[in-house]
Amino acid sequence: MIKLWAAVVGFAAILAAPSAAMAQEKSAVRPGFVLKPGSAKILLFRPKISVGAQSTGGMFEPNADWTAQARENLSAALDEAQAHLGNRVVAAAEPVGPAAQTLAAYQSLFSVVAESVIEYQFFKGNRLPTKKRKGEFDWTVGPGVAALGQGTGCDYALFLVTDDHYGSTGRKVLQVFAALARVPVAVGVHKGFAGLIDLRTGDLVWLNADLQMGGDVRSQAGAAKRMGQLLADFPGRPIVTESSSEGK
Amino acid sequence: MRIGRSLAIAAGVAGSALTPSALIAETKPTLPPYAGAYEPQTVDERGVWMQADEDERGLRDSQFLINDPALSAYVRAVLCRTVGADRCRGVRLYIERVPAFNATMAPNGTLRVWTGMLLRLRNEAELAAVLAHEFAHFERRHSLAEYRHNRGATDVMAWAGLIGGAVSSTVFNAALLSIPAFSRAEETEADMLSARYIAAAGYDVRCFADVWARLMDEADATALGRHQRSRRYDRVAFFASHPTNLDRAIYLRDFAARQPIGGDTGQDAWSAALTPWRAGLLADQLKLNDFGGTEYVLGQLGADGWSEDLLFARAELYRTRGNPRDLVTAANLYRQAIAIDPAHVDSYRGLGLALIRSGDAESGRAALRRYLYLAPGADDASMLASLLS
């Protein structure tokens, strides 16, 4: 019995199942939504960025230096990409008191809504009956979100989340040996999502979620590529940064 | 992944021979983690601190925090008395509104205390013991050591799992079981260090073992109430991260027996600080829908006499279960609460509802009228008024 259990746990640890991202849609825009180019002022909330290594056994090894680099690189890449679009991105100030509570609550709510979109709309096999109509994209965090934009003059709020586990040397060696034994071992986790919320209505107007992203966020060029992917299909107009084309 | 050590209640056997932690070269840090403006040193430590810092940013603005200056100051004062003023300075205390028994400490000095624990502890010495236990995890960098151990163990497991064969499977199992075993060893170390802290601070050491004894009884009561089999305390589950509560009660009693008799329980200060909170904590406990466990907790709290808030909570417990006999019990308990405190407004509401549901509409309406007279601005005033017409 214990052996069986151990085998199960071990199997999971080794495989770290390749994600089901293949069969999945990656982005959607609310029907009828258009962002006039060069017009929007966008409020950016502190991106959730986590960068580290993946140990031989598949554990996440958080790395503070890489995360700090990624934060800097992604911020610069975002400014550049939005300048291309003609939009202005304003980093939100860290509020205090009740405003901080409201912001924390909306950040959590955004994560929950974004995860629900990925699970119940982007993943076709699991699509909710109310989300099945073609072209439908109807998600909201509620009009209360307007409180976050008060006094900033911003029309939209942008949320960014990235999570990167870079395969360690040990993990890569394990992958090679495992491949000889015909056992698939996944190296690395590179997930990210970005969403745009209308600050007047609370509607989620655009969401892009990719569970297998490219671009090494630890370098400036890689971060620019990652940002290009995160902002692919950003409403307004097609993004032109060359690095955003294809390839992971 | 969430890194942090907790006090959690869990069933948990001493482990295996394999110690992957031996594979890791340990560098001796120069400063303790609680030193002022301490910066984490190695790549691993900086990583786990970064995660803890990110978590704490969210926690600081959480709507589940109880930001009461008096309560926070009291809990902090108990921590500082127990571990010393210089040590407690590096700790940020957060009281979270969660109706379960736990406290956790993150590697960067974030101390979380759950309100369900504040409801269940009986005196200041018990609180001191729990806080000192969490502090011991922080002081000894247990989260970091556990993280390194687990990484080493899962590395061994990955290779052993791939190679296969009888020897490999033994190695695999040994590595797997070393993970919870390592965790239990840390818990025991933290228990023993905290017992020494509370003894040095002049608290009654015997209190710590009592905490675990009561938690076992409560778990039994919950299991009985839900018609489930109770946990076993004499055997340890292979994957348990904590020693069994029975183990903890036994080794802590053993330690206490070797200390001089006496010590401060801090009963009066505890009551003064927590009494204003008790009604709210009881209301949260009632919402757990755990009849057996809640009845046990109330019985423990009422051991030294039943006050109106305890009687009211017990009445609510019975009224919400709602069997006809429960409504009779509830009505009696509400009446006892009113007898102690004729101005206990919520008891009139509960009494009224219980009586109307029991078929005694006349007395029930009278009680509701009394409620509406005493609390005309209550949230549910108009709804209850409709029952009177």
B33-71 residue pLDDT tens: 888 788 898 999 999 999 999 999 989 999 999 999 999
In the structure, what pLDDT confidence band is assigned to residue B15 with cuts at 50, 70 and 90? very low
In the structure, what pLDDT confidence band is assigned to residue B207 with cuts at 50, 70 and 90? confident
d(CA A108, CA B58): 9
Please check the confidence at residue B7 and state whether its pLDDT lies above 90.
no
pLDDT for res B239: 72
- Cβ–Cβ < 8 Å for B12, B235: no
Please check the confidence at residue A7 and state whether its pLDDT lies above 50.
no
- DSSP assignment of A91-157 equals EPP---THHHHHHHHHHHHHHHHHHHHIIIIIBGGG--GGG-STT----B--GGGHHHHTTTT-SEE
pLDDT in tens, B358-375: 999 999 999 999 999 999
Interchain pair B61, A103: CB under 8 A? yes
d(CA A169, CA A154): 45
Interchain pair B61, A6: CB under 8 A? no
Most confident of A146-160, B95-109, B256-270: B95-109
The shortest C-alpha distance from A42 to chain B (Å) reads 22
A96 interfaces chain B, CB cutoff of 8 Å: no
Please check the confidence at residue A111 and state whether its pLDDT lies above 50.
yes
pLDDT for res B111: 96
Residues of B with CB under 8 A from a CB of A: 1, 40, 43-44, 46-51, 54, 58, 60-63, 150-151, 153-162, 169, 172-173, 176, 238
Q: Which residue among A58, A60, A177 sits closest to B162, beta carbon to beta carbon?
A: A177
Interchain pair A58, B154: CB under 8 A? yes
Interchain pair A58, B150: CB under 8 A? no
Which stretch of A234-243, B66-75, B150-159, B193-202 has the lowest confidence by average pLDDT?
Answer: A234-243
pLDDT for res B228: 83
d(CA B119, CA A6): 39
Would you say the C-alpha torsion B114, B203, B146, B178 has a positive or negative sign?
negative
pLDDT in tens, A136-194: 889 999 999 998 888 888 889 999 999 999 999 999 999 999 999 888 899 999 999 89
Nearest chain A Cα to B53, which residue?
A: A64
Chain B partners within 8 Å of A6 (Cβ): 169, 172-173, 176
In the structure, what pLDDT confidence band is assigned to residue A23 with cuts at 50, 70 and 90? low
Q: Who wins on pLDDT, B351 or A25?
A: B351
Q: Who wins on pLDDT, A17 or B123?
A: B123
Chain B partners within 8 Å of A7 (Cβ): 161, 169
- Other Cβ atoms within 10 Å of B220 Cβ, number: 16
d(CA B263, CA B305): 24
pLDDT for res B217: 83
* pTM, to two decimals: 0.84
Q: Which residue among B46, B151, B173 sits closest to A57, beta carbon to beta carbon?
A: B151
d(CA B109, CA B130): 15
Interchain pair A174, B159: CB under 8 A? yes
pLDDT for res A30: 87
Q: Which residues of A84-100 are buried (b: 16+ CB within 10 A; e: fewer)?
A: ebebbbeebeeeeeeee
Please check the confidence at residue A16 and state whether its pLDDT lies above 50.
no
Interchain pair B161, A52: CB under 8 A? no
- Other Cβ atoms within 10 Å of B68 Cβ, number: 13
In the structure, what pLDDT confidence band is assigned to residue B1 with cuts at 50, 70 and 90? very low
Please check the confidence at residue B3 and state whether its pLDDT lies above 60.
no
Mean pLDDT of A209-221: 89
CA-based R_g, chain B, Å: 25
pLDDT for res A12: 43
Q: Which residue among A57, A63, A64 sits closest to B158, beta carbon to beta carbon?
A: A57
- Residue ranges and CATH numbers for the domains of chain B are 8-215+229-257 (no CATH), 306-389 (1.25.40.10)
pLDDT for res B348: 97
Average per-residue pLDDT in chain B?
88
A107 interfaces chain B, CB cutoff of 8 Å: yes
Nearest chain A Cα to B62, which residue?
A: A101
pLDDT in tens, A39-94: 788 999 889 999 999 999 999 999 999 999 999 999 999 988 888 877 888 888 88
In the structure, what pLDDT confidence band is assigned to residue B232 with cuts at 50, 70 and 90? low
**Distances A64 to A49, A226, B148 between C-alpha atoms, Å:** 11, 19, 16
d(CA B103, CA B105): 7
pLDDT for res B22: 42
d(CA B304, CA B297): 13
